[in-house]
């Protein structure tokens, strides 16, 4: 089992002041350095930890994104947070959970910093016309009744690998000033608690509309490319459906894209 550290004093004070708002989502475990917050949260989920239990790290040595990619996690440069959600319906709709988590993360950044983050299907937080990546979401099912939801947000510019640095940005880079990190953590946990409630609604339309409202400018009508039976195909993005799949128009008909790598081509 992962060994955790004492919470930093400023973060402990922020959590203590928000316990009524956070409920079980105030049960935060912390590590200065960790392999992966998702892996540590998975250990806790399998051991029976309740919904809202979360793991925060200052650095990840084996952070990952979608499709097993490495998630660059330099010390002190980002927010690396994973939380346990529970409910049998969640594991059957990971796409919807991922979109909802994007909305939650965008809400949290806006509340804590005033920065208007946008979203790119399926799991990216982006900024500006160039859609520079500010963060990402990783949703992993753990059995039938649990999900581990990981959020990585770039807080300050750091020494990312060149291929990451060229397409990334950070909150403090965009704002031109330092931010209060404990406030950002609290707002993330609060937004994730609200997400857990929204996901239990029998009608996901309100959550999906919030994603559409937050989506990056120009996403509708943009050309996307993906693999279909190992052949690259392309279509035009039109919408998202109730399960969080991307609806694209291809050769005059509409199709659902639910997994795999999707490459976006912005409209000029």
Q: 168-177: per-residue pLDDT in tens?
A: 899 999 999 9
- Decide if 41 is inside a domain: yes
At 61, list the tokens: 């040595």
Instruction: Specify the DSSP class assigned to residue 147.
Output: E
CATH code assigned at 161: 3.30.930.10
- Decide if 2 is inside a domain: no
Do residue 110 and residue 81 come from a single domain? yes
Specify the pTM: 0.91
CATH code assigned at 245: 2.30.30.100
More confident residue, 165 or 113: 113
Do residue 210 and residue 233 come from a single domain? no
132 confidence band (pLDDT: 50, 70, 90): very high
Do residue 244 and residue 179 come from a single domain? no
Using alpha carbons only, what angle is made at residue 257 by residues 247 and 70, rounded to the nearest 5 degrees?
Answer: 130
H/E element, 118 = strand 118-120
167 confidence band (pLDDT: 50, 70, 90): confident
Do residue 176 and residue 94 come from a single domain? yes
| pLDDT tens per residue across span 65-124 | 554 555 556 677 899 999 999 987 777 788 899 999 999 999 999 999 999 999 999 999
Q: What percent of the chain has pLDDT over 70?
A: 90
| pLDDT tens per residue across span 36-70 | 999 999 999 999 999 999 999 998 886 655 545 55
Do residue 92 and residue 137 come from a single domain? yes
- Decide if 4 is inside a domain: no
Distance between CA atoms of 59 and 90, rounded to whole angstroms?
28
Do residue 135 and residue 250 come from a single domain? no
> What mean pLDDT comes out for the span 139-158?
88
pLDDT of residue 7: 95
SS3 content of the chain, % helix, strand, coil (to 5): 35, 30, 35
Cβ–Cβ under 8 Å, residues 78 and 155 = yes
More confident residue, 94 or 26: 26
Structural domain of residue 182, as residue ranges? 9-214
- Decide if 119 is inside a domain: yes
**Residue 159: pLDDT above 60?**
no
At 140, list the tokens: 């992993």
CA distances from 215 to 77, 99, 212 (A): 25, 10, 5
Average pLDDT, the chain: 89
Final residue of a domain: which of 176, 196, 214? 214
Do residue 19 and residue 105 come from a single domain? yes
Do residue 194 and residue 241 come from a single domain? no
Distance between CA atoms of 7 and 150, rounded to whole angstroms?
19
Do residue 156 and residue 247 come from a single domain? no
Q: Is the dihedral of CA 99, 102, 108, 109 positive or negative?
A: negative
> What mean pLDDT comes out for the span 227-244?
90
Distance between CA atoms of 161 and 76, rounded to whole angstroms?
16
Cβ–Cβ under 8 Å, residues 208 and 122 = no
H/E element, 165 = helix 162-165
The widest CA-to-CA distance across the chain, in whole angstroms, is 58
């Amino acid at each position: 089992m992962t060994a955790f550290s004492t919470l930093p004093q400023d973060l402990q004070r922020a959590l203590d002041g928000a316990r009524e708002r956070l409920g079980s989502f105030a049960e935060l475990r912390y590590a200065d350095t960790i392999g992966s917050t998702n892996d540590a949260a998975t250990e806790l989920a399998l051991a029976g930890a309740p919904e809202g239990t979360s793991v925060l790290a200052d650095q990840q040595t084996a952070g990952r994104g979608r499709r097993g990619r490495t998630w660059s996690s330099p010390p002190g440069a980002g927010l690396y947070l994973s939380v346990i959600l529970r409910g049998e319906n969640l594991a059957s709709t990971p796409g919807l959970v991922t979109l909802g988590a994007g909305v939650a993360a965008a809400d949290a950044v806006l509340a804590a910093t005033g920065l208007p983050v946008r979203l790119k299907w399926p799991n990216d937080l982006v900024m500006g016309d160039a859609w520079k990546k500010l963060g990402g979401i990783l949703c992993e099912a753990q059995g039938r009744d649990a999900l581990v939801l990981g959020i990585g947000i770039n807080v300050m510019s750091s020494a990312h690998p060149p291929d990451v640095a060229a397409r990334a940005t950070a909150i403090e880079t965009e704002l031109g000033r330092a931010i209060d990190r404990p406030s950002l953590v609290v707002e993330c946990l609060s937004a994730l608690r609200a997400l857990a409630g929204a996901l239990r609604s029998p009608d996901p339309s309100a959550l999906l509309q919030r994603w559409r409202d937050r989506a990056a400018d120009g996403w509708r009508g943009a050309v996307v490319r993906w693999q279909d039976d190992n052949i690259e195909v392309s279509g035009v993005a039109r919408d998202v459906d109730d399960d969080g799949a991307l609806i694209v128009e291809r050769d005059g008909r509409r199709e659902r894209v639910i997994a795999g790598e999707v490459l976006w081509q912005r409209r000029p």
